[in-house]
Structure 1
């Protein structure tokens, strides 16, 4: 299997290169379970978030450990998770459709109404593991703005493909896309 050597600060990972469609392959980055990289990334990204904000908001599921660690190192005791499905326990959930580079089926992002109430008139920083096409990021922004929050920052460990040229995100390393 072909791999890509990813360097994030002092940490190196070998990522498998996997096809996502007929013309493109990606270096598959999975943060879940990588405590060393999560810790390093949170410490480094904490230096890139705005000084004034109320909550981190992340997307289920690979951004969760990063948002938790960022919350800890920046002394923000709570963060908000945007889910992929409406759950029975949710009160008045808000939803928006989302199209991501790694998923071929229609999806949605869901914000529990209780979390939406907490976000009214708050400043938030959106956290993700990888920003690529921007589909998930745009949907997350739309959803928290629908709840009445203001997005004051957007951070990720990696920017993939054209996302490296975006001026509205902060990230730690670039991740190329690969032709098939």
Structure 2
């Protein structure tokens, strides 16, 4: 069963990043303390959401262990865009700030939900509460989920270029 996924890359497009951040914030839950995303494609989006909302801080789960991540927490994830398992890390300092707080998880695209689940696990390990789950696009079965807010659907394609399903 051959299929192809569409690509959506916000890097380098300030206009679409600003517009998507604005629209996501308009649909965001009213109460959250921090924004969280996974490295790397969603970093410009979460930065812009923080800027527009007046937040002074947001968190990025790193895809590799860094020397500056003291007392880290981590989870393993297999995303549709990678060919191998990856670990996501937050520093102990970031985890401590999340304890008892409401965390809004943001991603550029939600597809299988594996990355989203990994971010949720980091929030739980830190003692935080997931306030909501948001993405610019939902792909495939993610479009049927009622626990995420997204701006638009991203189709999955058959090998011949037609839209799957």
Instruction: Work out which of the residue numbers 57, 66, 73 in structure 1 matches 2:36.
Output: 57
Paired residue total: 159
Deviations 1:79-132 (A, max 9, x none): 000000010111111110101111111111111111111101000100100000
Instruction: Work out which of the residue numbers 67, 71, 74 in structure 2 matches 1:88.
Output: 67
Mapping for residues 133-172 of structure 1, pairs under 5 Å = 133-172=112-151
Which protein has the bigger helix share?
2
Shift of 1:71: 0.7
Deviation >6 Å, runs of 4+: none
- Give the TM-score taking structure 1 as reference length: 0.86
Q: Which residue of 1 aligns with 2:3?
A: 24
Instruction: Work out which of the residue numbers 60, 81, 91 in structure 2 matches 1:112.
Output: 91
The Cα RMSD (Å) is 0.9
Which protein has the bigger strand share?
1
